[in-house]
Chains A and B, each alone.
Chain A
Amino acid sequence: MSFKAPRILPALTVVTLAAGFILVFYFAPNDADQGFIQKIFYLHVPLAVCALVGFMVAAVQAVLHLRSGDPGWDARSYVSIHISVILGVAVLITGSIWARASWGKWFVWDEPTLVSFLIVFLLYCTYYPLRYAIEDRERQARYASVFAITAGAFVPLNFIAVRLAETLVHPRVFATAEGGLTPKMTLTFLVCLVGMALLWQTLVRFELAAKSTRARLGRLRRALEGDEVAAGGSRIAPVPREAPGAG
Chain B
Amino acid sequence: MPALPLDEAGKYVAGAYVAFVALLLIYVAIMAARLERINRELGELAEIAEQGDDRPAANPAGADAGAQEDARGEAERQVFERERSSRQEVVP
Residue of B nearest to A220 (CB): B83
Q: When the two chains form their complex, are residues B15 and A97 in contact, meaning their CB atoms are under 8 A apart?
A: yes
Contact B37 A232 (CB under 8 A): yes
Quick one: which of B6, B9, B31 has the most chain A CB within 10 A?
Answer: B9
Q: Which residues of B contact A219 (CB under 8 A)?
A: 83
| Contact pattern, B 61-73, Cβ under 8 Å of A = 1, otherwise 0 | 0000000000000
A142 lies within 8 A of chain B by Cβ? no
Give the shortest distance, in Å, between B86 (CB) and chain A (any CB).
6
CB distance B1 to A221 under 8 Å? no
Contacts of A4 in B (CB 8 A): 89-90
Stretch at the interface among A67-75, A98-106, A112-120: A98-106
B26 CB, min distance to chain A CBs, angstroms: 9
Nearest CB of chain B from residue A64's CB, rounded to whole Å: 22
With A213-B87, A224-B79, A241-B86 as known contacts, state yes or no: A37 contacts B13, CB within 8 Å: yes
Determine the distance from Cα of A202 to Cα of B8 in the docked complex, in whole angstroms: 34
Residues of A within 8 A of B29 (CB): none
| C-alpha spacing A43/B19, complex, angstroms | 11
- Picked from A35, A94, A213, A225, the residue with its CB within 8 Å of the CB of B9 is A35
Give the total number of A-B pairs whose CB atoms are below 8 A apart. 115
Question: Quick check: which of A50-58, A154-162, A203-211 contacts chain B, the rest being far away?
Answer: A203-211
Q: What is the interface size of chain B, counting residues whose CB is below 8 A from a CB of the partner?
A: 37
Contact A209 B91 (CB under 8 A): yes
Task: Mark each residue of chain A from 67 to 94: 1 if its CB lies under 8 Å from any CB of chain B, else 0.
Answer: 0000000000000000000100110011
- Which B residues lie within 8 Å of A36 (CB)? 3-4, 6, 9-10, 13
Q: Kindly report which residue of chain A lies nearest to residue B11, judged by CB atoms.
A: A101
Partner of B49, one of A100, A224, A232, A241: A224
Check A35–B38 contact: CB distance below 8 A: no
CA of A241 to CA of B48, assembled, Å: 23
Which residue of B is nearest A223, CB measured? B79
B89 touches A33 (CB 8 A): no
Bound: A14/B83 CA distance, A: 31
- Cα distance A4–B92 in the bound complex, in angstroms: 8
B35-47 Cβ-contact flags toward A at 8 Å (1 or 0): 1011001100100
Contact of A39 among B1, B13, B41 (CB under 8 A): B13
Q: Does A214 contact B (CB under 8 A)?
A: yes
B76 touches A223 (CB 8 A): yes
The residue on B at minimum CB distance from A44 is B16
- Hey, which bits of chain A sit against chain B, CB under 8 A? 2-5, 7, 21, 30-31, 33-37, 39-40, 43-44, 47, 86, 89-90, 93-94, 97-98, 100-102, 203, 206, 209-210, 212-214, 216-217, 219-221, 223-225, 231-232, 241
